[in-house]
């Protein structure tokens, strides 16, 4: 039982230390966050790029499906 409590304590201490480090780095400006939503700008921009690529793939798949269905009708 003591070993489980020890592991839980280590995990909680690790999580708290990571959160504290993140907020200190955010406050010092080491992590850029222009819109103050606690999501780094690098992650925001990567997510935006991923959304754009997903929309392009969706459009391309729709074009392929339309081409396949139009060929089947001939």
Give CA separation, 48 vs 33, 42, 51, in Å: 15, 10, 5
- Tokens 């909680």 belong to which residue? 12
Instruction: For residue 45, give the nearest of 53, 27, 23, 61 by alpha carbon.
Output: 53
41-57 residues labelled b (16+ CB within 10 A) or e (exposed) = eeeeeeeeeeeeeeeee
Q: pLDDT digit string (tens) for 12-68?
A: 999 999 999 999 998 898 888 888 888 899 999 999 999 999 999 999 999 999 988
């Amino acid at each position: 039982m003591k070993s489980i409590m020890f592991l839980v304590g280590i995990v909680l201490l690790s999580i708290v230390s990571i959160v504290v480090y993140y907020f200190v780095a955010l406050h010092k400006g080491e992590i850029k966050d222009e819109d103050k939503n606690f999501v780094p700008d690098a992650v925001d921009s990567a997510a935006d790029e991923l959304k754009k690529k997903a929309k392009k793939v969706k459009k391309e798949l729709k074009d392929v499906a339309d081409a396949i269905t139009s060929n089947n009708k001939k």
